[in-house]
Structure 1
Amino acid sequence: MSNAFIFRTIELDGQRIRTAVRPGNGTLTPLLLFNGIGANLELVFPFVQALSPDLEVIAFDVPGVGGSSTPSTPYRFPGLAKLAARMLDYLDYGQVCALGVSWGGALAQQFAHDYPERCKKLVLCATSAGAVMIPGKPKVLMRMASPRRYIQPSYGVHIAPDIYGGAFRRDPGLAMKHAAKVRSSGKVGYYWQLAAGLGWTSIHWLHKIKQPTLVLAGDDDPIIPLANMRLLAWRIPNAELHVIDDGHLFLVTRAETVAPIIMKFLEEERQRAIIHPRPQLARS
């Protein structure tokens, strides 16, 4: 199968939404990706390329990011989940599996909660339950509060080891490659994404998420400390936790390790319990 993406820009609610689909062979439920804050869809391509070519993958730029238009007022997470569902309608998808990373992990939780019939399985990477999270270091959070790393690539390269941790601490070249793929829409879209999550939390309804859920965490994540992922795995009834030996962006830096774990989870069909018929009474 080809790993080529099909790009389309569609109009929804007066917004231009840029989408990319990597076609699969139709044997698996398609995977919808929710990206991190300020992150255009190209940033997840290395991860998508590591997934089985049989799996259809849908990526998009949320309003205010990459090639999508910036709205005049910010969306909240329920509004963004609704927009994602409408995008799936437009692109002619029924049920999908959802994967969210970091900020997109919060949106993926909202999507799974609000549209349970559209979401077969859930994968949460380097994310949290929102306002109740155990925060990262203040210095890291201050740097995350500004879009400067996306608008000024040299600054992004400079702070990458501190904010992303893991492989970014060991390989200076990684930050350069990452910065080269960034496509910023400017400051407003970034601030709108921050606004989407202000005061938001999923802690009071995580127990209602019934989808099989795979929780993936980095053990050296300065933005989302590991305790947050343990909390998600504990609160979601049907969840399993995998800890990866890396930082916040393990989905990209450890794509060859993480992709098989995710594929195994997506390919698993839960076996129904077999109810044995009552044994017939021996005929006299």
Structure 2
Amino acid sequence: MSELTIPHVHHRHVDLDGLRVFYRETGPTDAPVLLLLHGFPSASHQYARLLDALGTRYRLIAPDYPGFGNSDSPAPDAFRYRFDTLADVTERFCLALGLDRFALYVFDFGAPVGLRLATRRPEWITGLVVQNGNAYEEGLSEQAREFIAHRRGVPGAEEAARSILTLDVTRSQYEGGTGDPSLVAPDGWTLDQHYLDLPGRKDIQVELALDYFSNLELYPAWQDWLRANQPPTLVLWGRNDPFFTEAGARAYLRDLPGAELHVFDTGHFALEEKLPEIAPLIDDFLARTQK
């Protein structure tokens, strides 16, 4: 009988000067590290199956940002919800855990958080796994551009941002663009909506939605960092993503000609449907590039 190995996944909090940040961790402590940064409107639970798939070979760590999942969610009048601030917290999280050499998995909101971190701490980053995490103007669909146009002071912006925080929209982010929706477990969007519906959480998401334009202003700096540093990079993309188009995936090759690109016939949350295809690619990438 073959030996079946399944990792233990720890569920912990770290206190950052009174702000409790939840995270999941698995894998040998001396193994190469992959830091997984989640998207909207999700949390670290989106990586649960990936942690099971790769956690015997690598140390995987997946935090929840403030205002998401099981992390603390101070009210917007007590905490400034901006992408800069999420990057600040992620940087402090890494310092608290002693993480100073790791590959980054960036998805959706994780791209602006992670690329801010990379430009601040380039010596920490040993590689990138980019999954539907945009850093190029051509990767923005018309729907994404309409979302980004919702800025503070624009009439109707707050109402428009709040209108997407519904179960129907949350579910559509998971199932939209998939080839076989039966492969997408309902637990993801159900849990995301549970968190969104907690007191005060929608106010937090509105604050971040109205700050999304700040990411576009940093695209040139992130592209400069990619060109200058040439990190080993694996780009994974669901081509039917309604927000971030396939052109955004291919744009990485302009600055990272040595990057490896794989495009899948699925939607935004590509891991939900394509984990059996994606996990071996990540395994192979980490085995080749992370020593």
Instruction: Give TM-score scaled by structure 2 length.
Output: 0.78
**SS of the residue 1:43 aligns to:** helix
- Kindly indicate whether the alpha-carbon contact (under 8 Å) linking 2:173 and 2:268 is maintained by their aligned counterparts in 1: no
1:122-137 superposed matches below 5 A: 122-129=128-135, 132-137=137-142
1:2-41 superposed matches below 5 A: 2-24=6-28, 26=30, 28-41=31-44
Q: Which residue of 2 aligns with 1:176?
A: 186
- State the shift of 1:75 in Å: 4.1
1:258 aligns with 2:278: yes
Q: Residues 73, 112 of structure 1: CA spacing in aligned structure 2 closer, same or farther, 3 A cutoff?
A: same
1:122-271 superposed matches below 5 A: 122-129=128-135, 132-138=137-143, 146=161, 152-153=166-167, 156-157=170-171, 159-160=172-173, 164-167=176-179, 170-171=180-181, 174=184, 176-182=186-192, 183-184=194-195, 185=198, 186-201=201-216, 202-205=218-221, 206-209=223-226, 210=229, 211-236=231-256, 238-269=258-289
- Alignment deviations for residues 15-40 of structure 1 (CA, whole Å, 9 cap, x no partner): 221111113362x3111011001212
Identity %: 24
- Alignment deviations for residues 22-75 of structure 1 (CA, whole Å, 9 cap, x no partner): 13362x311101100121211221222222521111011101111112243434
- In the TM superposition, structure 1's runs of 4+ consecutive aligned residues that sit over 6 Å from their partners are none
1:42 aligns with 2:45: yes
- Alignment deviations for residues 96-153 of structure 1 (CA, whole Å, 9 cap, x no partner): 11101111122222222221111111111102116x35432439966x9646666x54
CA RMSD of aligned residues (A): 3.0
Q: Residues 148, 126 of structure 1: CA spacing in aligned structure 2 closer, same or farther, 3 A cutoff?
A: same
1:89 aligns with 2:95: yes
Where in structure 1 are there 5+ consecutive unaligned residues? Answer: 272-284
**Bigger Rg over Cα:** 1
Q: Which residue of 2 aligns with 1:63?
A: 66
Where in structure 2 are there 5+ consecutive unaligned residues? Answer: 151-159
- Kindly indicate whether the alpha-carbon contact (under 8 Å) linking 2:21 and 2:66 is maintained by their aligned counterparts in 1: yes
- Alignment deviations for residues 214-257 of structure 1 (CA, whole Å, 9 cap, x no partner): 11111221121111111123124653322122211112221111
- Alignment deviations for residues 160-187 of structure 1 (CA, whole Å, 9 cap, x no partner): 477x3123xx325736232233241520
Q: Which residue of 2 aligns with 1:117?
A: 123
- Kindly indicate whether the alpha-carbon contact (under 8 Å) linking 2:173 and 2:269 is maintained by their aligned counterparts in 1: no
- Kindly indicate whether the alpha-carbon contact (under 8 Å) linking 2:174 and 2:189 is maintained by their aligned counterparts in 1: no
Q: Kindly indicate which of the two structures has a greater share of residues assigned to helix.
A: 2
Q: Which residue of 1 aligns with 2:154?
A: none
- Alignment deviations for residues 3-22 of structure 1 (CA, whole Å, 9 cap, x no partner): 23212222214422111111
Q: Residues 95, 243 of structure 1: CA spacing in aligned structure 2 closer, same or farther, 3 A cutoff?
A: same
Q: Residues 12, 68 of structure 1: CA spacing in aligned structure 2 closer, same or farther, 3 A cutoff?
A: same
- Kindly indicate whether the alpha-carbon contact (under 8 Å) linking 1:112 and 1:122 is maintained by their aligned counterparts in 2: no
* Equivalences, count: 264
- Kindly indicate whether the alpha-carbon contact (under 8 Å) linking 2:15 and 2:21 is maintained by their aligned counterparts in 1: yes
